[in-house]
Structure 1
Amino acid sequence: MNNRGRLRTQLWATGHLLRSRMIGPMRPDRYVGMTRVLRRYGPHATTGFALAANRRPDATGLVDDRGSLTWQQIQDRADALAVGLAQLSGGQPTSVAILCRNHRGFVDAFLAAGRLGVPGLLLNTGFSGPQLADVLEREQASLIVYDEEFAGLVADARERIPGLTGVLGWVDDEVATREQPTAEQLIAEQLIDAHRGERPPPSRPGRVVILTSGTTGTPKGATRSGGGPEELAAMLERIPWHAEETVVVAAPIFHAWGFGQLVIGATMACTIVLRRRFDPEATLALADQHRATGIALVPVMLERIMELPADVLDRYALDTVRFVTASGSRMRGEAVIAFMDRFGDKVYNSYNATEAGQISVASPADLRHAPDTAGRPVTGTTVKLVDDDGNEVPVGEVGRIVLRGASEFDGYTAGDSKDSLDGFMVSGDVGRMDAEGRLYVVGRDDDMIVSGGENVYPVEVERAIGELSEVREVVVVGVDDEKYGQRLAAYVVPAEPEAVDADRVRAHVKARLAGYKVPRDVVLLDELPRNASGKVVARDLPEPK
């Protein structure tokens, strides 16, 4: 980019930062302090928290099940915990793994790892015991901060990994446990109390390792360099965040999407409202109670909200909410429209990737036009759809999604990286683009099912079955078949018990799609197996009978 282009980009980014009130009237010493923060931390995930503490030290920064903390208290807790962790018997940890739900303990641990200059490894709260141990071993974690509910999993992992230290980041009965801790029990709150007012030696922040979803295989550890103000401005251009307001982050913050919303909220000096466990009505109540202007969630959460009885939904106005932003999986169109019909056109659907950050955003107007769209690429990101030979496909045709954005993917912790094509990252997804430039994600590249020589993408079959009012949820996968190589199997959750008939499902699909796209197997389930971020875990689906 030449100097003129760079200047244009900077002016564009500054304009959006001004409109969002990220840049605004402040005491001169605040700006001086923020400059020092940026010089010390650089574009790191912890930087936003330090900026917010400099900007609004006595304002409420975080609200969770245990109450509220100011931005300065959050910083002081991180300093104290970092000192405590560095003085444990095993010495300063080489990395800090975090197995926590949405609460202050997660934030304490993630910031403390940054203070110590060691990697912070964000762990999926839905891990099984073997998965947890595998990831901890692969990532060479030496310390894990965890919620009490995961004590059994952590104990098993510590038997397998000698020298792994465990620290409780959340205890269910905080007062009782802090008063009578068991022998060898390390509790983050005790370490914070013991070292309150102390600070660790200055250090450049360690990297944050975020795991891919791992719905079809072992999750990978990914690290990514931030794109700076331009990446933030690209998001602010599409989604109406304003600085110093309040946002409810319901999405799991160990996941790339929820973590990103946490970091953006801090960078904007917004009050961040967390709840340890998601509850659809409680999410609405928190938004109304705290006069939130934004809610960040994953699509299945929005669907669960719209499954609440009408008289429950009637209790909440969401009149201060300006945006509800979702990402992480495909949104059911009927749920999106139902939400907007009731609460207003406030839903923004983001297409993100752990390795690439934000790729595209669908505005409420986009979703009104096409509820299943992923929207248009954000400024600074170029998206192409290509065939197997790397040639761009015509508008409307399905192709592999490749992209180039403002931030850089640093690679997986195992040493490998994403495939690239002429400078574009291969996302692993396939999709199509309409004539207005809206992107539609059809599925994963490896989701395509070849049945009897015909190519089928499950999402179009899922969309057809989802039109049935008696169907609450559906996922379609390919299963091995001796005659056809693969055949389609539809896993359906009925809206009401015994409301779905398999023949009715097949007839409905046959009336809308080609015959080879009709699922031969229709399996009825009480619920679909999902991970903590709401994605369906295909390997946990039962074999069709």
Structure 2
Amino acid sequence: MTFNDWPWRHWREQRGEAVAIYLGEQTLSWRALCQRIDSLACGFAAQGVQPGDGVMLRGKNHPDIVLAWLALLQCGARVQPINPQLPSALLEELLPGLTLRFAVDLADNADFADLIALDLREAAGNYDAGWRPQRLASMTLTSGSTGLPKAAVHTCAAHLASAQGVLALIPFAGQDNWLLSLPLFHVSGQGIFWRWLLAGARLTVSEQPLAAALQGCTHASLVPTQLWRLLNAPEPVSLKAVLLGGSSIPVLLTNHARDRGISTWCGYGLTEFASTVCAKEADGLPDVGYPLPGREVRIVEGEVWLRASSLAQGYWRNGQLQPLVNDSGWFATRDRGVLHNGRLTIQGRLDNLFFSGGEGVQPEEVERVIAGHSQVRQVFIVPVDDAEFGQRPVAVVDADTGFDINELKDWLAEKLARFQQPVSWLPLPEHLALGGIKISRRALQAWVATQVER
């Protein structure tokens, strides 16, 4: 679909009184939503926001975050969402290079001396910087394994192209309702946001616990642990489609979901591509599916290269865009992969490979084997330093209650080479398991180091 105006205004004309969004206890139609966006945009403009200005939007998912984002877009601003849990020392390093002018802080009203604080002041009128889909609209921090995170810059057109590719595979329209279950400072949360705008369906923004927030929702983006717990809870589930992210997807989980009338989808995505690049309905096979419409994939010397209409314009640094593509015009991902009959299988990050006693261990390959056990919900392999072997693999597992780890060790004996077999087994900690986004391997490795030292 091609919009000739802001998507919310398009849907106001097409579905004016239809429900657009559930904001906590408040329900807004497309017409009422546009009125709120107009008044907030006027308020921001009165405080000095102009097209092209960089604005930090700091906070967790909340109705005000969503409304502020929409209004800032209508002002023509370049929105930089920030995780409120980022330490102040890291922000002090990051902010100068992001060249932001304003800050909307809905977390703890921290003092950002170099930024002008904005409040959510509403004013009469309908300020509009004009619908220009190629204008720089968002900056999203990547979770790089080394150095400072980079800010990938996308246009509205790129976000909509990402949404269009996903919705070519996953039905979502009209009366459907997608829970904003992932934070907007993460590209997967933005993916939900733009699919809603493209489809003109419904979005739920809730601060309630997941099971309560999902009441009445038909779609959600979850990690396997979240879906396991929902399916094992006594409360009824209204979901009909779930996009799963994170680690290997257990077949037992997807079968259980199917028995409850829920279709499950999995895929492969990157911040630089505004979320999902390849996807499929979960089928138990290790690939991530075919490239979605508007995406291209090739393998060069074992590395996955990508091109897509959803690609970011570049990385933002000191007011300049740094190119993402190589001399051949492709984005080199640093992911190992293979293509078979057009379907992509990701073998792991080139950066994740480590050596134990001279043997290369690719964590994702080991995880895929362990996840095949019927009682394993989620598993991660991380290296720990070892004086004799250099590094050894440690497994962090989320498994059924009362599960005997010795049973798993026996089960793995003939499925993994000796150098691949974990030397220690740890339970996945709660604070990492339910973050709602892809678990950081760097954070997990740091946590494991503290446990092994004990």
The two structures share one fold, judged by TM-score above 0.5: yes
Show the counterpart of 1:138.
97
Structure 2 segments unaligned to the other structure (5+ residues)? none
Superimposed CA distance per residue, residues 370-418 of structure 1 (whole angstroms, 9 cap, x where no aligned partner): 2x4311112332212232xxxxxxxxxxx32112223343111124443
Tell me, in whole angstroms, the C-alpha distance in 2 between the residues paired with 1:247 and 1:276: 15
Confirm or deny: 8 A CA contact 1:76 1:197 kept in the other structure.
no
With over 3 angstroms needed to count, the CA separation of the structure-2 counterparts of 1:51 and 1:213, relative to structure 1, is: farther
2:201 aligns with 270
| Cα 1:283–1:203 shift into 2, 3 Å | closer
Aligned ranges 1:346-385 → 2 under 5 Å: 346-357=263-274, 358-363=276-281, 367-370=282-285, 372-385=286-299
Q: 1:228 and 1:97 mapped to 2: Cα distance?
A: 19
* 1:76 Cα offset (Å): 2.5
Structure 2 contact 251–284 (Cα < 8 Å) conserved: no
Supply the distance in 1 between the matched residues of 2:181 and 2:283 (Cα, whole angstroms): 24
Q: Which residue of the partner structure matches residue 304 of structure 1?
A: 226
Task: State the shift of 1:532 in Å.
Answer: 4.3
1:164 to 102, 115, 125: 115
In structure 1, the residue corresponding to 2:27 is in which secondary structure? strand
Contact kept? 2:42, 2:124, Cα under 8 Å:
no
After TM superposition, list the pairs within 5 Å mapping 1:197-346 onto structure 2. Answer: 197-199=125-127, 206-214=136-144, 218-225=148-155, 226=157, 233-243=164-174, 245-279=176-210, 281-287=211-217, 292=218, 295-300=219-224, 303-308=225-230, 310=232, 312-313=234-235, 315-316=236-237, 318=239, 321=240, 323-327=241-245, 330-344=248-262, 346=263
* 1:102 and 2:58 correspond: no
2:337 aligned with 1:431, yes or no?
Answer: yes
Match of 2:42? 83
Question: Where do residues 471-490 of structure 1 align in structure 2 (5 Å cutoff)?
Answer: 471-490=376-395
1:197 partner amino acid: G
1:478 shift after superposition? 1.9
1:230 deviates by: 6.6
Q: What are the Cα deviations for residues 153-193 of structure 1, in whole angstroms up to 9, with x where unaligned?
A: x42xx2xx4243445xxxxxxxxxxxxxxxxxx4x2xx12x
* Between structures 1 and 2, the one with greater strand share: 2
Secondary structure of 1:384's partner?
Answer: strand
The answer as to whether partners of 2:280 and 2:288 remain within 8 angstroms in 1 is: yes
Structure 1 residue 446: Cα displacement: 0.3
CA distance in 2, matches of 1:533, 1:227: 24
Find the aligned partners of 2:233 and 2:186 in 1 and give their Cα distance: 32
Work out the CA distance in 1 between the residues paired with 2:259 and 2:68: 40
Alpha-carbon distance between aligned partners in 1 of 2:332 and 2:129, rounded to the nearest angstrom: 41
2:58 counterpart letter in structure 1: L
Q: Which residue of 1 aligns with 2:350?
A: 445
**Alignment coverage as a number of residue pairs:** 439
Structure with greater helix percent: 1
Following the alignment from structure 1 to structure 2, what is the Cα–Cα distance between the partners of residues 506 and 421?
A: 47
Q: Which of 464, 468, 471 in structure 1 is aligned with 2:369?
A: 464
Which amino acid is 1:92 matched to? V
Aligned residue identity for 1:221: A
Q: 1:103 to 1:422 in 2, by over 3 A?
A: same
What stretches of structure 1 of length at least 5 have no aligned partner? 1-16, 23-33, 38-46, 168-185, 388-398
Of structures 1 and 2, the larger Rg is shown by: 1
Are 1:196 and 2:114 an aligned pair? no
Which of 63, 71, 92 is 2:49 aligned to? 92
d(CA) in 2 for partners of 1:523, 1:97: 38
**Does the CA contact (< 8 Å) of 2:38 and 2:126 recur in 1?**
yes
Query: Is 2:77 the partner of 1:118?
Result: yes
Q: Distance in 2 between matches of 1:142 and 1:278?
A: 34
> Structure 1 residues 538 and 317 mapped into 2: Cα distance closer, same or farther (>3 Å)?
closer
Instruction: Tell me, in whole angstroms, the C-alpha distance in 1 between the residues paired with 2:25 and 2:192.
Output: 21
Q: Deviations 1:418-466 (Å, cap 9, x if unpaired)?
A: 35363321122222334x4332222222011122222221122223333
**Structure 1 pair 67/476, CA: closer, same or farther in 2 (3 Å)?**
same
Aligned to 2:67, the other structure's residue is in SS state helix
SS at 1:338 equivalent: helix
Contact 1:490 1:523 (C-alpha < 8 Å) held by counterparts: yes
Which residue of 2 is the match for residue 391 of structure 1?
Answer: none
- Determine if contact 1:528/1:536 at 8 Å carries over to the other structure: no
Tell me how far apart the structure 2 counterparts of residues 113 and 228 of structure 1 sit (CA, whole Å).
16
- Alignment match of 1:407 (pick from 310, 326, 344): 310
Judge which range, 48-57 or 197-206, deviates more: 197-206
Query: Shift of residue 274 of structure 1?
Result: 2.1
57 and 441 in structure 1: CA distance in 2 versus 1, 3 angstrom threshold: same
Q: 1:110 to 1:470 in 2, by over 3 A?
A: same
